[in-house]
Structures are given as structure tokens and as C-alpha cells.
């Protein structure tokens, strides 16, 4: 589709706000990994990725409705692996990263649910996405939600928000020519403020070109509630990732949210003894998903780190049951539980 100017997009009468992930959901959306080539071709590994995603869907479906976007020819296998409580929706997919390819749901002025389509382009054309590029609009159409097609490209995993007017994101994945060529940070910020209904936007540097997402925020820093953040902690990390994370924490120490509050940041040490030895393994406990009555977080087989993460998240979310799951096949492909889920607010 042709590029849309930010100026013309802002000329409409769009009025919306983005609710917190912790608010009640009407359902969780997920996407079926339908392309074996992404995982080295048909075989045991690709099948284990599908089985892992199915277990997560079944676990979430114990507490809230789950809708799995999947092409019809995959429904029989998906039904077997996800169980009877997961609804299968005939939407063609390439891969499983619903947080990024799917719509970002917002609430309009009359309290209706609407959707934002950030025009997913495979994280800057790094992966085939002919079907995933249409998931946001297809999901919006399925639920009957008005859909705003954003002139600014990005992904749901590239934004973190508190539901109270504050947005946190990395420059590395938004102010990037592989998504928004020739668009300034100020223009991107202006559009996000309007389309998401936020008042304060806090930028942290992130890391370009070191992972497929160019440094999504949801892998390292998350809102627990307004004024309170949880961050992954990689002690002694002197890499570009470690330096960027240290700078992000320094920025947050000086920043204030939309209502003038300073931030408290609780750090959770990452796993240093995980089962998986994949080079792309995401060892962050921050990439969890907040569902209705439960919080879903990884269990990496690192007894000490797993236990500390569960205790910390339980203390921060006392109203939710902490569900730890072996999701290694998701995390060793560079994403996590948050990356494969997208909440539809009630």
C-alpha cells in the first residue's frame, strides 16, 4: 500500500486511549506458526515449536478465552495440540508472533474497542510476512473493531504502556529506515501520542541490527502499574546490549510519567544456567504475559533464577497466580510468551 503521511493521518477525528495489559481481557489472540522454512523445514524441531505454542494456548485458555489465528489446513493439528478450549479462527498466518503482527487494541471515546494496524513488515523485511502483514486487519474485521491503519510502522512488542498515559519504547526499532524511512523521532512520537492516546513518551536507545526486532522494549522493561517497572538484569554484561540497558535505566531514573511520578524499577536477574544453549535464546523473565487472574512466565530450568523470578513476580502481582512454563522453543527463537500473545480488552 502507498505510504501515508503522518500529517494527514493526524487530521482525522481519531480519539482513543490504550488500556493496560492488566485490565480484564475478553480474549487472548495467538497465531499459528504455519511456515516450516522459518524453523529449518518440516521435522521434529518445527513440530516442537508448534507443540510448545499449543501448550501455552491451553494454559491461558484455562483462565480466559483464547483465539488462535490459523489457516484451515492446520486446524486439525492445532486443535490436537491446543486442546478443546482454544477457538481456531481461519486467518492465514506465516509465523507465531501475534504481539508484532496482530492489532494493538485501544478503547475509543465511547468505550468501544478499536484496533491499530502498525503495518507489520517482518521487522524491517527480515522475514517473509505476506500473510502476517494482513493479520491485524483480519483480526480487527473478525471482532468487528474499527481499524486505524497507522502511517508509522512498528510492532506491538516495540511499545510498553501503563494504561495511564505513559509510553516507553526504543529508538532502535522505531526511528529506523527499515520501518520508517525519512520519519523523525518527533513525527513518530506525535503520531503515537494521538493514535494511542498517551501524554508522555519516554525513549530509550535500544540496539539496532543485533536481533530480528532491533531491540524490542518488551524483552527487557515492562510496566507493572503506573510508576512501577520491572526490568531484566544481566549482571556484568559489557556488550552493546548491556550498555544500552544500563543507559535505559539511567534515563528512567531521571524521567517522570504522564502524571509527574518518578519511576521505581525492580530488577529480576536473568537466567545464567538455562537448559537451552541456543545462540538466540532470550533469557529474560520480563517477557511475561499478564492474563485474567494469572501471569504466564518462563521456566528456564535454572532452579535458583526461576524461583527468584516467580517470587518477585508474585510479589508484584499478588492478585494473580504465577504460572511458570517451559517455553524454550519460543525463547530460543528470540522471543517469548509476551511476543506470541495479544490481549483484546473487555
Positions marked active-site: 339
Dihedral sign of CA atoms 169, 10, 343, 46 in order? negative
User: What Å distances lie between residue 81 and 47, 84, 85, 86, 122, CA to CA?
Assistant: 10, 9, 11, 10, 26
Residue 277, judged by CB atoms within 10 A of its CB (0-12, 13-18, 19+), counts as exposed
Three-state secondary structure string covering 125-181: HCCCCCCHHHHHHHHHHHHCCEEEECCCCCCHHHEEECCCCEEEEEHHHHCCCCCCC
Residue 19 CA to residue 211 CA, distance in Å, equals 28
Residue 219 CA to residue 287 CA, distance in Å, equals 5
What are the cell numbers at 307? 524461583
Amino acid at each position: 500500500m502507498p505510504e501515508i503521511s503522518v500529517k494527514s493521518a493526524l487530521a482525522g477525528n481519531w480519539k482513543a486511549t490504550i488500556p493496560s495489559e492488566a485490565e480484564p481481557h475478553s480474549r487472548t489472540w495467538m497465531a499459528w506458526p504455519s511456515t516450516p522454512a522459518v524453523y529449518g523445514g518440516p521435522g521434529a524441531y518445527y513440530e516442537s515449536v508448534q507443540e510448545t505454542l499449543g501448550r501455552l494456548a491451553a494454559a491461558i485458555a484455562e483462565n480466559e478465552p483464547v483465539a488462535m489465528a490459523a489457516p484451515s489446513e492446520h486446524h486439525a493439528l492445532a486443535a490436537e495440540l491446543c486442546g478443546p478450549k482454544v477457538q481456531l479462527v481461519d486467518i492465514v498466518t506465516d509465523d507465531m508472533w501475534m504481539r508484532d503482527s496482530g492489532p494493538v487494541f485501544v478503547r475509543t471515546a465511547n468505550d468501544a474497542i478499536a484496533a491499530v494496524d502498525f503495518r507489520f513488515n517482518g521487522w524491517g523485511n527480515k522475514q517473509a510476512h505476506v500473510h502476517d502483514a494482513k493479520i491485524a486487519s483480519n483480526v480487527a474485521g473478525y471482532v468487528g473493531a474499527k481499524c486505524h491503519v497507522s502511517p508509522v510502522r512498528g510492532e506491538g512488542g516495540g511499545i510498553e504502556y501503563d494504561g495511564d498515559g505513559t509510553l516507553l519504547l526504543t529508538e532502535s526499532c522505531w526511528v529506523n529506515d527499515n520501518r520508517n524511512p525519512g520519519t523523525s523521532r518527533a513525527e513518530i512520537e506525535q503520531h503515537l501520542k494521538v493514535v494511542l492516546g498517551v501524554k508522555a513518551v519516554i525513549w530509550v536507545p535500544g540496539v539496532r541490527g543485533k536481533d530480528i526486532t532491533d531491540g524490542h522494549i518488551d524483552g527487557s522493561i515492562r510496566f507493572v502499574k503506573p510508576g512501577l517497572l520491572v526490568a531484566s538484569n544481566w549482571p556484568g554484561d559489557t556488550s552493546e546490549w548491556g550498555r544500552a540497558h544500563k543507559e535505559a535505566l539511567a534515563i528512567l531514573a531521571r524521567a517522570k510519567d504522564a502524571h509527574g511520578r518518578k519511576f521505581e524499577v525492580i530488577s529480576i536477574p536473568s537466567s545464567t544456567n538455562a537448559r537451552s544453549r541456543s545462540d538466540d535464546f532470550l533469557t529474560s523473565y520480563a517477557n511475561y504475559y499478564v492474563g485474567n487472574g494469572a501471569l504466564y512466565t518462563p521456566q528456564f530450568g535454572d532452579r535458583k533464577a526461576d524461583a527468584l523470578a516467580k517470587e518477585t513476580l508474585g510479589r508484584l502481582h499478588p492478585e494473580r497466580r504465577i504460572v511458570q512454563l517451559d517455553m524454550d522453543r519460543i525463547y530460543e527463537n528470540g522471543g517469548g510468551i509476551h511476543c506470541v500473545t495479544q490481549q483484546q480488552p473487555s
